[in-house]
Structure 1
Amino acid sequence: MSRIGFRILRSALDMFRDRSAIAATEFAVIVPIMLVMFFGTVEFSSGVAVDRKVTLVARTLSDLTSQAPSSAPQATYANVNDSYLQNVFTASISMFQPYPPTPTNATISEIYVDSSNVARIQWSKAATIGSGATQATLVASSRNPGDVVTTLVPPALLVKQTYLILSEVSYLYVPTIGYVMVKTGVTMSDVAYTRPRQVTCLIYNNLLPAPSSCPLT
């Protein structure tokens, strides 16, 4: 064998023995999987945190609304107006921090359970929070006075001749890394019920029911 051929053969053998690049090759194969797992864990954790905040906002909206003070000494009702409800909705902006509060849709409704155990909407108001907004924007609610919502109310809360404050919140969570979760986002929602704390019922804009009393029929 010529000297040149021997060198070529030895170089080929040395190449097959050299394993110095195996770790780099394995790393190149594993890195994409590791990145997907890492960002997936981060996005999933953020999603869980946002879902918890949606629940907290729903509970806070119904709780703040139910604490409306009586309109007069010894009165059994409280008057709420757009200004009061807008302040309640706006409170949710700070509660979403450090996550952006938009896009958030929220609704506050009052429900009356009559003597026949039928639950109906008395009044309802909704709000949205736009990008960079410092205040919630009031909008028309999809729920109308008189709508029957008996199946929506938990059986334990269907107490005859009582009022309930219902809050509904939905939030579109859009992941930062689109390929880890659904690119268009995941809608998270929750509801909360509370009873008026200081009065029997809340009257929206003095319109419903008659401002002199809360109907209990």
Structure 2
Amino acid sequence: MRPVAARLSRIAAGAGKRLGRLWRDRRGVGAVEFALLAPVLLMLYICAFELTVGLSVAKRATRATGTIADLVAQQNGKVTKAFLATMVDVADSIFVPFSSSSLTLKISGITIDASNAAKISWSWQKGGTRPYVVGASVIVPSEMQKPSTFLVRAELSVPHDLMMFMANAFSMSTTQITIKREYFFRQRVGDSISCTDC
């Protein structure tokens, strides 16, 4: 029995020495740390990139909406459907290099009467249809609501796909958000702007 106990004692001592050496050995620690951190860093990089692209699209949506409202407000007294249809090209050129094929664009003329009631005078949307009923009430920003004035409103919305990692499952998914912008501009020339065929 004693030789077996001595042999087990030697095996245990050898295993203890090997475990001690393994515990003190620091080779490969960097590789293990990198293997643990690499997926998290990759996730953060992709999310930051996607958010940056999303912010760039949002900036272009803001610029396009303001530019369109400004261009329509500069017209001398009247506009037509043909002129308003060119505003889609304006938006497309501002959105380059991003796709704007699925954007929605609405342009409205709003009359504020002497009693300070804002109503749709005319409206047009991409595709040539009328999105709002003539005479429908409109909510206008308080700083622009002045009696007997005319406003041009441009509304633009564009869907954008964001590739995001889900925080709880570490899986990738695509989330679609809709970026919407709305601008009001006063007419620059005359008292109002009419749309002859809207």
When normalised by structure 2's length, the TM-score is 0.82
- Per the TM alignment, residue 89 of structure 1 is displaced from its structure 2 partner at its CA by 2.1
1:155 is matched with which residue?
Answer: 142
Q: Name the amino acid aligned to 1:108.
A: I
Task: Work out whether 1:21 is the aligned partner of 2:43.
Answer: no
Structure 1 counterpart of 2:69, which letter?
Answer: S
Contact 2:155–2:181 (Cα < 8 Å) also in 1: yes
160, 177, 183: which one aligns with 1:173: 160
Aligned-partner residue type, residue 99 of structure 2: P
Q: Whose radius of gyration is greater, 1 or 2? A: 2
Identity of aligned residues (%): 25
Q: What's the TM-score, normalizing by structure 1?
A: 0.76
Cα shift at 1:44: 1.4
C-alpha change, 1:14 and 1:182, in structure 2 (3 Å) is closer
SS in 2 for 1:32: helix
- How much has 1:196 moved relative to structure 2? 1.5
Alpha-carbon distance in structure 2 between the residues aligned to 1:179 and 1:144? 43
Aligned to 1:187: 178
Whole-angstrom CA distance in 2 between matches of 1:194 and 1:182: 39
Worse-superposed segment, 116-125 or 11-20? 11-20
SS class of match (1:174)? strand
Count the aligned residue pairs.
185
Q: Give the superposition deviation at 1:173.
A: 1.3
Where do 1:50-199 residues align within 5 Å? 50-69=57-76, 77-78=77-78, 80-127=79-126, 138-149=127-138, 152-175=139-162, 177-179=163-165, 183-199=174-190
Cα distance in structure 2, aligned partners of 1:18 and 1:110:
76
Distance in 1 of aligned mates of 2:30 and 2:184: 58
Contact 2:110/2:121 (8 A) holds in 1: yes
What secondary structure does 2:175 align onto? coil
Distance change in 2, residues 1:12/1:206 (3 Å): closer
Task: For 1:53, give the aligned amino acid.
Answer: R
Preserved CA contact (<8 Å) 2:109 2:121: yes
Rounded to whole Å, the distance in 2 between the matches of 1:55 and 1:38 is: 26
Give how far 1:143 is off. 1.6
Where 1:83 maps in the other structure, the secondary structure is: helix
